[in-house]
Amino acid sequence: MKSTIRKFTIKVLLVAALFISFSPALFSQEASTDTLSVTLDQIQVEAAHSSITIGKSPISVSYLNRSEADVTARPAATMDELTFTLPGIWISNRENAALGERMTIRGMGWRSPFGLRGVMVVMDDIPLTVADGQTIMNMVDPAMVQSIELLRGPSATYWGNSSGGVLYMRTRPPADSPRLMLRSYGGAYNTMKYEARWHDDIGGVRWNAYGSYFESDGFRDHSASELIRGGLSAGFDLSQNSSLETRIAFSGMPKAEHPGSLSAEDASENPSKAWPPFVDASAGKDFMQWMASARYLHNTSSGLLTVSAHGTLRDFNNPLLANVGYIIVDRVAGGSRVTYDFDNLPFNLQIGGELKFQRDEREQRNNVNGNPGDQLRIDQTDNVSTQALFAQTAFDVNRLIINFGLRADRMVFGVDDFIANENSSRSFFTLNPSAGINYNLNNARLFASISSSFDAPTTTEFKNRPGGGTGFNPDLLPERTIGLETGIRGVSNNSRVQYDFTLFGLNITDLIVPFIEVDGGPTLFRNEGNTRHYGLESHVRFQPVDRFSLDFMYTWTEAEFADGNVEGNQVPGVAPHRIGTMLTGYLGHHAIGTDLEWIGEYYADSANSAKNDSYFLVNGRWSFSGLHFESWRLQPFISVQNILNQRYNTSVSVNAFGGRYFEPGSNRNVRFGLRLDFF
């Protein structure tokens, strides 16, 4: 173990030394004013749950703020359309609404067979990641997302369990955007979407609401879906020193057919095919979910008190193959958090505590033509609770800012099995420290940090144990991660160029690995050794004139198994090389954009016996804003995906049985629609 850590540390230090050796050329471009503070320091990193700003952050953080032109011309259906130029994060559109998107941050989260694992996702202050670490992205309508923050390193100091990275999204539009927006578009595969967004200040209350309806037959057979989403928030001042903000969000998916993954031959020759057993079993998903939150802020003479609470209700039905059956889950989850930020100390200090809970009532029956049968195979209640205490502090010494953080988490998992009439439980206690520095170079900031995270098995991973049996797997342990990073971010040429370069290394122990024992059977989980991840993240934004901009992202992620039977193999589902560029121009009332994305080849299984080939995608979009009248505006738009009609697999099902790893992406397709604004 000591030898593994030593080798890992040496690699990180060698890469860091190489990086620093090239940095003087960047440092030499000093400006007469601190342009970095003007462009970045004012943006608070809400994803870190603190008052820290991007310019002074000791950690790698990316920020995306969408313009109205981008919102119009990019009616994003999935999150990958928004994040492909952000370094470190990779979201794959599986074109399968029953499974949702795959997301990894620096390779964390690669094991997830459905939904997300290992990363924290937050929308409008509501954590979409519940206590056991599961995240369901169907609550997010990407078309309504206005801004994104991304913490790319381990973040357990801020969020606790399942925070190998943090994706934080906001839906509230800027104050100067249209008061009411209506939009509709249609496209290939009988796709239709209808959207509405409204915001206003009425009687001192800041209102924001949105709603959408989406339906599509899907590119593949047996992949039709239907999705309804909406949200409402209200914020107001209770007094001169206090305010309250409340939110409620809804998502319903009456239909999501599951086409399954394919062999390499089928994916290449017949990519629209669904795996026949999934069609015969009417495999798919339907659910209904409500989420609500409230946040209270109160300024005192000594600091800021913040109290927040959130809750989730979810009803979920999931017909699968006969040897798995029909899964029914009713979930109640939520939590609360209290923090206090001190103002009158010679250093910054935040202290706080957090509680989380989750209760899943789970049944598993036989599947009868897509309906639950009368054979009750599983009848149990899963409970998860978390209690946490944390503190963060920062010292500002001239040009240098030094940060420290520490969080203690206690997690308890319990299951009541009503068929076997027995109970079982597991509990964990973790301490997660972090430390970082940020040095001001006038037009740039040099930063470095060391941080940690842990990823407890979810209730599903605990339950799906090798060899069967009831209760939770007594042998499955949480993953633990230690991360090192160093980087530079800044601006030059009067802010016409913004750049961000980061080197990172991760050491993950007690890796949780998915596998399947029988054809069509459930995905099982076990701990299998350690992995090492290291690489480079880069992003450059070039804006030579106001009407033209170019974003360029390159991410190199080397993730490999450090021991065990697959020592030296690459971690599956993680592409070592990725490039994303976005070119946007404004010609009069016309907005024209081109997206280029290249994904290098990567493995689909731990044995490294199957590869997903590299692919190159080109997308284009156009919108027209010239139909502008006194109080309203009409904007037509067109977007084209996969212009070159590339045949590719958009994702893989890691370690799938029978070599059926591949999930094909759609052919060239077009969306066209209208947006109507009222001011």
Residue partners of 630: CB distance under 8 A and separation at least 6: none
Q: Please determine, for residue 477, whether its predicted confidence score (pLDDT) is greater than 90.
A: no
Share of the chain above pLDDT 90, in %: 73
What pLDDT is stored for residue 480 in this prediction?
A: 94
Residue partners of 18: CB distance under 8 A and separation at least 6: none
Q: Specify the DSSP class assigned to residue 262.
A: B
Determine whether 24 is exposed, middle or buried from the number of CB atoms within 10 Å of its CB (0-12, 13-18, 19+): exposed
What pLDDT is stored for residue 167 in this prediction?
A: 95
Contact between 325 and 352 under an 8 Å Cβ cutoff? The reply is no
pLDDT in tens, 357-389: 999 999 999 999 899 999 999 899 999 999 999
CA distance 227 to 22: 49
What pLDDT is stored for residue 113 in this prediction?
A: 75
- State phi, psi for 17 to the nearest 5 degrees: -65, -40
CA distance 516 to 605: 12
- Mean pLDDT calculated for residue range 476-494: 91
Considering only CA atoms, give the Rg of the chain: 24
What pLDDT is stored for residue 226 in this prediction?
A: 97
What pLDDT is stored for residue 20 in this prediction?
A: 35
Beta-carbon count within 10 A of 3 CB: 7
Q: How many CA atoms lie within 13 A of 443 on its CB side?
A: 19
pLDDT in tens, 506-556: 999 988 877 777 776 677 888 878 999 999 999 999 999 888 999 999 999
Q: Please determine, for residue 36, whether its predicted confidence score (pLDDT) is greater than 60.
A: no
The length of the chain is 679
What pLDDT is stored for residue 354 in this prediction?
A: 97
Higher pLDDT, 50 or 237: 237
Residue partners of 108: CB distance under 8 A and separation at least 6: 118, 119, 164, 165, 455, 481, 506, 508, 533
What pLDDT is stored for residue 16 in this prediction?
A: 40
pLDDT in tens, 408-438: 999 999 989 899 888 888 899 999 999 999 9
Helix (H) or strand (E) holding 618: strand 615-624
Contact between 29 and 443 under an 8 Å Cβ cutoff? The reply is yes
Residue 645: what residue type? Answer: N
CA distance 48 to 341: 13
Contact between 362 and 380 under an 8 Å Cβ cutoff? The reply is yes
Higher pLDDT, 463 or 633: 633
What pLDDT is stored for residue 356 in this prediction?
A: 97
Nearest to 138 by CA among 146, 149, 128, 127: 128
Structure tokens at 403: 């940060």
What pLDDT is stored for residue 45 in this prediction?
A: 72
Beta-carbon count within 10 A of 628 CB: 12
- Mean pLDDT calculated for residue range 107-121: 86
Q: Please determine, for residue 17, whether its predicted confidence score (pLDDT) is greater than 60.
A: no
Residue partners of 3: CB distance under 8 A and separation at least 6: none
Q: Using the structure block, give the residue that is written with the tokens 């200090």.
A: 349
pLDDT-based confidence at residue 13 (cuts at 50, 70, 90): very low
pLDDT-based confidence at residue 642 (cuts at 50, 70, 90): very high
CA distance 584 to 621: 9
CA distance 607 to 129: 30
pLDDT in tens, 587-614: 999 999 999 999 999 999 999 999 999 9
Q: What is the 3-state secondary structure (H, E, C) of 351-397?
A: EEEEEEEEEEEEEEEEEECCEEEEEEEEEEEEEEEEEEEEEEEEEEE
What pLDDT is stored for residue 42 in this prediction?
A: 56
User: SS3 of 643, please?
Assistant: coil
Looking up residue 139, the CATH number of its domain turns out to be 2.40.170.20
Total domains, the chain: 1
Domain region containing 365: 2-678
What pLDDT is stored for residue 9 in this prediction?
A: 41
What pLDDT is stored for residue 37 in this prediction?
A: 34
Expressed in percent and rounded to 5, the helix, strand and coil fractions of the chain are: 10, 55, 35
pLDDT in tens, 48-97: 766 666 667 788 999 899 988 889 888 898 999 999 999 999 999 999 99
pLDDT-based confidence at residue 349 (cuts at 50, 70, 90): very high
Contact between 166 and 120 under an 8 Å Cβ cutoff? The reply is yes
What pLDDT is stored for residue 29 in this prediction?
A: 36
CA distance 240 to 195: 36
What pLDDT is stored for residue 53 in this prediction?
A: 67
Share of the chain above pLDDT 70, in %: 91
- Mean pLDDT calculated for residue range 255-270: 96
Torsion of the alpha carbons at 608, 613, 616 and 621, rounded to the nearest 10: -90
Mean pLDDT of the residues in the chain: 89
Q: Using the structure block, give the residue that is written with the tokens 């202050």.
A: 125
Q: Please determine, for residue 151, whether its predicted confidence score (pLDDT) is greater than 90.
A: yes
